[in-house]
């Protein structure tokens, strides 16, 4: 019996500034989440994106990361628990230069069902544009919430969920559970 | 491709310096592991560094490249012929305030004995600090290590080597075997 299982997978079907995977079963130890997406935003080459958990929309989150975007040198970004409303994990590609460009994202949520430590997650993401070179991005990051409550839902948010900045309709995801 | 749990440890004591997974099953293609937790100390170390050994080898056989951050400061380093794989600090009880800092590692072809200059693996890690000390308890790490021994890996050790620093209670280490089945 394999100890890595698909919990859920799907395609958004319509653009959304934020979307949620809810009712996550609690009988796994770890989660990993793979996403292929882009932003419909046209005002910039890439756009910040965030993870929120358990529907918490307060100033509960912190993050730490490094990124390369738009041909810039590596940048580091961080804030502490309570420093922001959501955990930025990097910048996803937009429709500014090509509506066909996509970002691939992998997130790791260790011990998501434990309730004895504040929850941290890791992210690795990358995108490239085959028509122009300055719309590429890469990021490694960690996000966290200052809470030990088990994670039962994960929300992805495009640039704070503001209007006109949606995850594209063809956004695809797959959530895995790791047993122990 | 399937993953099979080979070992899971949850630290219950207060003086556990490392976890040591021995007798690793040799019938898989690759290994991957999760460490979730932090160091126990509340002292002057913002982020005491954690380490890994294969096959209990503490000889000068460990080469690595890594990039990492502490807060908004960036670092990169290369190490040849070290005595262990040093990752980076993953927070402590004071500065990461009981955060489940995470390292995910992947070790391809761990049973091979004819690798080119040994075994290469990679790992990602990160954590977030608390508001009391700002962002300096936060870090992110990308790491590539090379164990320059052409020996199958049958043991993995993970811990904190500094005196008086232990793996915090409730931290976990999970090891999985990966194969095509």
Domain of residue B151, CATH code: 2.60.120
Token pair of B162, please?
Answer: 């500094």
> Is it the case that residue B35 has pLDDT exceeding 70?
yes
The CA distance from A177 to the nearest CA of chain B, in Å, is 11
Interface contact flag, B102 A180, Cβ < 8 Å: no
Q: What's the pLDDT score for residue A132?
A: 64
Residues linked to residue B177 through DSSP beta bridges, in sequence order: B4, B31
CA-to-CA distance for B33 and A124, rounded, in angstroms?
A: 16
Residues of A in contact with B11 (CB under 8 A): none
Residues of B in contact with A142 (CB under 8 A): 101-102, 125-128, 138-140
The answer, yes or no, to whether ipTM is higher than 0.85 is yes
User: If we measure between CA atoms, which residue out of B96, B90, B172, B81 comes closest to residue B133?
Assistant: B96
Confidence of residue B48 (pLDDT cuts 50, 70, 90): confident
How many domains, chain B? 1
Would A122 be classed as within a structural domain? yes
DSSP state of A73: P
Q: Which domain holds residue B52?
A: 2-179
Residues of B in contact with A178 (CB under 8 A): 3, 34, 174, 176
Interface contact flag, B139 A142, Cβ < 8 Å: yes
Q: Which domain holds residue A160?
A: 4-142+153-178
Interface contact flag, B133 A80, Cβ < 8 Å: yes
CA-to-CA distance for A8 and B147, rounded, in angstroms?
A: 37
List pLDDT tens digits, range B8-18: 999 999 999 99
Question: How far lies A1's CA from each of A179, B1, B5, B35, B107, in Å?
Answer: 10, 12, 10, 23, 22
How many domains, chain A? 1
The mean predicted confidence, pLDDT, of chain A is: 91
User: If we measure between CA atoms, which residue out of A139, A140, A146 comes closest to residue A52?
Assistant: A146
CA-to-CA distance for A121 and A151, rounded, in angstroms?
A: 11
The CA distance from A46 to the nearest CA of chain B, in Å, is 20
Count of CB atoms situated within 10 Å of the CB of B75: 14
> Is it the case that residue A135 has pLDDT exceeding 80?
no
Token pair of B124, please?
Answer: 């990602």
Interface contact flag, B3 A121, Cβ < 8 Å: no
Q: What's the pLDDT score for residue B44?
A: 55
> Is it the case that residue B45 has pLDDT exceeding 60?
no
Name the more confident of B94 and A87: A87
Q: What's the pLDDT score for residue A165?
A: 87
List pLDDT tens digits, range A44-71: 888 899 999 999 999 999 999 999 877 6
Q: What's the pLDDT score for residue A134?
A: 66
List pLDDT tens digits, range B74-106: 999 999 999 999 988 887 776 667 889 999 999
Instruction: Give the per-residue SS3 of A20-68.
Output: EECCCCCCCCEEEEEEEECECCCCCCEEEEEEEECCCCCCCEEEEEEEE
**E strand residue ranges, A38-171:** 46-53, 61-69, 75-84, 87-93, 103-109, 119-127, 137-145, 154-158
The CA distance from B59 to the nearest CA of chain A, in Å, is 31
Would A147 be classed as within a structural domain? no
Helix (H), strand (E) at residue B142:
strand B139-147
Would A148 be classed as within a structural domain? no
List pLDDT tens digits, range B137-157: 788 999 999 999 999 999 999
% of chain B with per-residue pLDDT over 90: 69
Let me know if B174 is exposed, middle or buried by CB neighbors in 10 A (0-12, 13-18, 19+): buried
Confidence of residue A93 (pLDDT cuts 50, 70, 90): confident
Residue of B nearest to A108 (CA): B104
The mean predicted confidence, pLDDT, of chain B is: 90
């Amino acid at each position: 019996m394999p100890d890595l299982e698909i919990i859920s997978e799907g395609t958004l079907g319509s653009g959304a500034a934020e979307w949620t995977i809810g009712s996550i079963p609690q009988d796994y130890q770890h989660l990993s989440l793979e996403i292929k997406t882009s932003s419909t935003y046209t005002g910039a080459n890439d756009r910040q994106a965030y993870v929120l958990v358990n529907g918490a929309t307060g100033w509960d989150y912190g993050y730490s990361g490094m990124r390369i975007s738009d041909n810039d040198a590596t940048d580091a970004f961080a804030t502490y628990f309570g420093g922001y409303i959501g955990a930025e994990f990097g910048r996803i590609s937009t429709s500014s230069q090509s509506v066909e460009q996509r970002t691939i994202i992998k997130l790791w949520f260790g011990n998501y069902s434990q309730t004895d430590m504040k929850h941290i997650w890791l992210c690795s993401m990358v995108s490239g544009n085959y028509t122009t070179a300055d719309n590429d991005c890469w990021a490694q990051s960690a996000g966290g919430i200052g809470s030990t409550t088990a994670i039962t839902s994960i929300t992805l948010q495009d640039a704070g969920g503001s209007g006109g900045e949606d995850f594209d309709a063809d956004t695809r995801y797959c959530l895995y559970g790791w047993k122990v | 491709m399937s993953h099979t749990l080979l070992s899971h440890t949850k630290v219950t004591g207060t003086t556990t310096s490392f976890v040591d997974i021995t007798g690793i099953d040799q019938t898989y293609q690759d290994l991957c592991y999760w460490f979730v937790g932090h160091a126990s100390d509340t002292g002057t170390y913002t982020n005491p560094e954690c380490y890994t050994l294969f096959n209990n080898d503490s000889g000068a056989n460990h080469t690595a490249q890594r990039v990492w951050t502490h807060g908004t400061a960036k670092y990169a380093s290369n190490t040849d012929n070290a005595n262990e794989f040093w990752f980076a600090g993953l927070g402590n009880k004071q500065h990461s305030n009981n955060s489940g800092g995470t390292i995910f590692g992947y070790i391809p072809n761990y049973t091979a004995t004819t690798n080119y200059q040994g075994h290469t693996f990679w790992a990602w890690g990160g954590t977030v600090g608390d508001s009391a000390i700002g962002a300096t308890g936060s870090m992110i790490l990308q790491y590539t290590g090379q164990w320059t021994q052409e020996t199958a890996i049958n043991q993995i050790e993970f811990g904190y080597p500094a005196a008086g620093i232990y793996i915090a209670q409730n931290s976990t280490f999970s090891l999985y075997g990966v194969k095509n089945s």
